[in-house]
């Protein structure tokens, strides 16, 4: 996994709350068996609307998405994270993320950073007043800056460490094979098995 320490790129204001993963990528794009090329499905239904923010050329090359509260609700599809990453997003900022989406993002190196809703509103205004404005996300210092706005970035220590080191979860778990073996040896025999 690619390390994330800090990133600066064009900020994209997504003034919507409750952006569910069906909106991030509709189900028809989920039929692929590969892990790349999902950018065409990103916000597919909304991209048909010419007023949609990503259709503004000043935002088209955005890499920091600034969204309303409850981003990533609904379906567990990791394709939502792949679509954002494949499009070029490195970080999503919101005042609240859905749990599964946040977990999926962390495993793919997409930063989901929590800001206060007040800071989100300030950044939205700054980005809308001057489309193309850059946002800097510094995971090391836990700070987001946009023009003269300086916002506190909330991210838990463990996720931050994994992102900054670019560590893969399976590799981390497989450092403890004995713990898994021991647990399995003590499992009750009444637990079900799918193969008999």
Partner 1 sequence: MGQTLAEKVWDAHVVRRAEGEPDLLYIDLHLVHEVTSPQAFDGLRLAGRPVRRPDLTLATEDHNTPTLDIDKPIADLTSRTQIETLRRNCQEFGVRLHSLGDAEQGIVHVVGPQLGLTQPGLTVVCGDSHTSTHGAFGALAFGIGTSEVEHVLATQTLPLRPFKTMAINVEGTLKPGVTAKDIILAVIAKIGTGGGQGYVLEYRGEAVRALSMEARMTICNMSIEAGARAGMIAPDDTTFAYIDGRPHAPQGKEWDAALEYWRTLYTDDDAVFDAQVTIDADALEPFVTWGTNPGQGLPLSASVPDPDSFADESEKAAARRALEYMALEAGTPLRDIAVDTVFIGSCTNGRIEDLRAAAAVVKGRKKADTVRVLVVPGSARVRLQAEEEGLDEVFTAFGAEWRHAGCSMCLGMNPDQLAPGERSASTSNRNFEGRQGKGGRTHLVSPLVAAATSVRGTLSSPADLEPAS
Residues at the site binding partner 1, with contacts judged by CB under 8 A: 16-18, 20, 22-23, 26-28, 30-35, 45, 68-70, 73-79, 81, 96, 98-100, 103-104, 107-108, 156-158, 169-170, 172-174, 176, 179-180, 183-184, 187-195
Element of type H or E holding 150: strand 149-152
User: Quick one: 29 exposed, middle or buried, by C-beta within 10 A (0-12, 13-18, 19+)?
Assistant: buried
Task: Go through 79-100 and write b for each residue having 16 or more CB atoms within 10 A of its CB, e for each that does not.
Answer: bbbbbbbbbebbbbbbbbbbeb
Query: Which residues lie closer than 8 Å to 186 by C-beta, 6 or more apart?
Result: none
Structure-block tokens of residue 186: 């003590």
28: its two tokens? 């028809």
* 115 neighbors 97 (Cβ within 8 angstroms): no
Q: Measured from the CB of residue 189, what is the shortest distance to partner 1 in angstroms?
A: 6
Distance of CA 171 to the CA centre of its chain: 21
Count the helix, strand and coil residues of the chain and give each as a percent rounded to the nearest 5.
40, 20, 40
Residue with tokens 């793919």: 108
């Amino acid at each position: 996994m690619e390390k994330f320490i800090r990133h600066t790129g064009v900020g994209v204001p997504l003034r919507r709350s409750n952006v569910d993963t069906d909106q991030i990528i509709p189900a028809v794009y989920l039929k692929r068996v590969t892990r790349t090329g999902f950018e065409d499905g990103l916000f597919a239904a909304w991209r048909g609307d010419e007023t949609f923010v990503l259709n503004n050329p000043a935002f088209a090359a955005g890499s920091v998405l600034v969204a309303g509260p409850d981003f990533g609700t609904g379906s567990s599809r990791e394709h939502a994270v792949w679509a954002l990453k494949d499009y070029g997003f490195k970080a999503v900022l919101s005042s609240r993320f859905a749990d599964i989406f946040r977990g999926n993002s962390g495993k793919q190196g997409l930063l989901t950073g929590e800001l206060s809703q007040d800071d989100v509103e300030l950044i939205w205004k700054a980005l809308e007043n001057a489309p193309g404005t850059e946002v800097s996300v510094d995971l090391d210092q836990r700070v987001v800056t946009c023009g003269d706005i300086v916002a506190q970035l909330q991210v838990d220590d463990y996720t931050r460490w994994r992102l900054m080191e670019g560590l893969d979860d399976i590799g981390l778990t497989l450092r403890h094979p004995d713990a898994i073996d021991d647990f399995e040896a003590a499992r009750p025999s009444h637990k079900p098995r799918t193969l008999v």
